[in-house]
Structures are given as structure tokens and as C-alpha cells.
Amino acid sequence: MRNFTLITLGCPKNIVDSRNLIDSLTKEGFIYVEDFKKADFILINTCCFIEDAKEESIEEILTAAKFKSDRILIVFGCLSKRYGQELKREIPEIDVLFGIDDDSKIVEYMQRFKNGVWENIKNHEYTEEPPSYRYIKIAEGCSRKCTFCVIPDIRGKFRSIRPEKILKEVEDFIKSGIKEIILVAQDITQYGKDLRGYTLKELLKDLCQINGDFWLRLLYLYPSDVDEKLLQFIKESNKIVKYLDIPLQHSEDRILRLMGRRGSRKEYLRKIREIKEAIPEVALRSSFIVGFPTETEDEFHNLLDFIEEVQFHHLGAFKYSREEGTIAYHLKGQIPENIKERRYFDIMSRQALISLEKNRNLVGREFDALIDYVEADIALGRLYCHAPEIDGVVMIENPLNLKAGQKVKVLITEAYDYDVKGVLV
């Protein structure tokens, strides 16, 4: 009884946790299988950041429960940590629940099982990470106090991961042929605050010293902590892609204060101007919450004007999700679901036009592209302005001998709302 399959839901940080767990289990002699039919253990790494993520996790657990047969169903991660008792009560097919950072307990639990007989079951589509990029988690938890967010409660205070561990992990990936390293944490600008003098800049300097042809991408920077020195370093580095993901959450001062976020509309506009001046080719991504309690129509329209003024390359919008245990949960003036839905639709359709325009500006120009997937007649890759899974892609027809993980030059020929099309140069 050694085979296990693992389903990962949620953010890139969960992907990293799952990969680490797979490594630990493999070292202990367990075998990872993609096929449900061959698995003795089904592990589900859950997410509960927003309502949609919770629903997806629950659906996935229910599906696994339905096809479980004699297999052992193990659920862990954020949802399990937060709603463990409820899950166990509602889905008795779950054999055991773990929280976050419980790898050794999961390994120990699985080791207790001996041989068993396993049959039938459906295939599950588990997509492995492609051979082109890897997420590297550089910190755990978050110490900020955004009033809508459950992460600090679930994942605890911000803790930087030791630089030696990060550097070793990155070196190993680069040696194995990975061409893009994506640094993630709830807020990477906090990196090193607990490491006595070793900050994000030192980490980036050390990472840029690693030999090899690879891109470094930075995800999730807290706006007020993106400073001039960091921008200068990014500008001068030939490894860090000129792409910044800075979640702003809103543009209006009153709402930002209610959200417990630092900064104001004026400061955000100034920061974005500084970024664009320092790195003119920068691709900016941000995320915003619509329908936060008490958000008025005027404030929402001001938010639309703000995104029009800034012209982000990519934008993610979330309908405010009322999370138990948060300060915002208790705010009066919760916005009805149909209004949130409409605001979500409005902001996304406005952004679609902006993204299309940004993509049109790429047409006729040549870029390096990193290939993620190759099929018979099309390859999917990404340019510097595309983070995997959240942004668009570059589609390349007739890929001939292209392989996933390869870097190539492409000429962009067509633009769509989110994706672009190109030909090999």
C-alpha cells in the first residue's frame, strides 16, 4: 500500500506545499501516481481564501468521497484547518484531516498502513507542473491586518524561509532545466524582516548570481513597500522579468481604511508613476475586491476610473466574500450578491478592453517566450508579461520541434482580450 495521488487546489503556495509533501512521501518509499485507479491514498490540499475556493475544495472532496472505495482519503490545507470539524461531520468518508505544515504527521499517518486491495475508480485530471517553471515559496504566513482576510489566522505570522534553503532549491531546479523561478509569499516585500539584515534585495542579489539562463518572477508585493532601490535593482537585473504583481484591493481612501490597507488613491497613483518611470516596459498586474461592505456606486465608479487611468496589463477582481472571524464580517452595509456580481462584471469587462489594447501594442514586436505546453499543432508559451495560470499566453501554431521548457523568439502577430498569437522567428 504505497501509491498516492494528490489534488492541489488554490494558490501557488499550495502547489509548493504539495510538491514538498510529494518529495517527503517519495523519500519514504511512497509512489506518486496520477491515476486514481492506482492510488491507495487520495490526498487533497484544500484552499479557503474566498467562497469560490471553498466551494471548489468541497466539490473535490465530495468527488473523491464518491469514488473512494477502500482508499484512504486524507484532507489537509487551509479549509481543513479552518473547518475541520464541519468537514468531518458533513463528509464522513474523509478518513483523516490535517492542517498546514503537517507533512511529517501525514507521512507518519500513511506509514501506519500495510498492504491493501484496491480496485476500480475514475481517472482524475491532475496536471503536473510543466517543465518550464517552478514556484518557490519564500515565506509562510502574514502579519498584516487586512480586515477581510483570514490568512493570518490560518497561516500564522509572517516567517521568512531561510535563504540557504531557497537558494539550494532554486539551484537544483535550474540544474534540472527549469527556466523560470516564481517567488511567492503572501507578501514578498516583508521577506527578511525576521532575518537580521538579510532582506528581499539580498535574496534577489543572491538568486541573480546563480548561473544559468532563467527568469525570476516576483508575485505579490505590498504597494507601500515597493521602494526605489527595489525598482532600480529589478530594472538592472537581466534575470528578473519586468513584471510586478501588486494587489491594491481598492482605489478609494475610505474603503482602503475600512480594509485596513496602507496607502491612498493619491499614493497609489504616485507609486505607479514611479514604477513606470523606473521601468518603462513594466507589465503591471493587480487585484481588487468589489462589493466590500458599504462600497457605494460612486466609489465603485471611482475604482473604474482608477483602473482606466493606470492601465494595468492584467487585473484580477474578486467579489467580496464575508469570512467568519474577520473584522469586515461584522461591518454593517454588506452589499447584496446581485450588486457584487454586476460590479464584478463591469470591472472585468472594462479591463478586457484595456488588456486587448495592451496586447495590440505587442503586435509586430519580437519577444522571448518560454514554452509551457506543446500539442500536435499548437504550443502555448508565455512572454515576460504573462505569469502562469493567471495571465494570458502566447499561442504558436505549427510548433514543429518545439519542446516544453524551451525558450524561443516569437513575433507577435495577433492580439485577443487576454492572449496573443505569434510565430517563431
Closest CA to 97 of 79, 69, 113, 74: 74
Q: How far is CA 262 from the centre of its chain?
A: 22
Write out the H or E segment, with its range, that includes residue 155: helix 151-155
Binding piece for ligand SF4, criterion CB under 6 A, among 88-96, 140-148, 272-280, 327-335: 140-148
Q: How far apart are CA 136 and CA 209, in angstroms?
A: 17
Binding piece for ligand SF4, criterion CB under 6 A, among 144-152, 206-214, 317-325, 407-415: 144-152
DSSP 8-state assignment for residue 91? -
Which grid coordinates belong to 131? 517543465
For 254, phi then psi, to 5°, come to -65, -45
Nearer to ligand SF4, 186 or 355 (CB): 186
Q: How far apart are CA 44 and CA 41, in angstroms?
A: 10
Nearer to ligand SF4, 8 or 186 (CB): 186
146 touching ligand SF4, by CB under 6 A? yes
Nearer to ligand SF4, 180 or 187 (CB): 187
Using CB under 6 A as the criterion, what x/- string covers residues 169-208 for binding ligand SF4?
-----------------xx---------------------
342 touching ligand SF4, by CB under 6 A? no
Nearer to ligand SF4, 11 or 42 (CB): 11
Closest CA to 33 of 124, 129, 132: 124
Binding piece for ligand SF4, criterion CB under 6 A, among 5-13, 131-139, 147-155, 207-215: 147-155
Sign of the Cα pseudo-torsion (149, 330, 56, 41, in order): positive
Bin 254: left if φ > 0, else alpha if -120 < ψ < 50, else beta: alpha
Nearer to ligand SF4, 146 or 226 (CB): 146
142 touching ligand SF4, by CB under 6 A? yes
The one among 21, 39, 64, 151 contacting ligand SF4 by CB under 6 A? 151
Nearer to ligand SF4, 249 or 355 (CB): 249
Burial letters for 110-123: b for 16+ Cβ neighbours within 10 Å, e otherwise?
beeeeeeebeebee
Binding piece for ligand SF4, criterion CB under 6 A, among 33-41, 102-110, 149-157, 410-418: 149-157
Residues that bind ligand SF4 (CB under 6 A): 142, 144, 146, 149, 151-152, 186-187
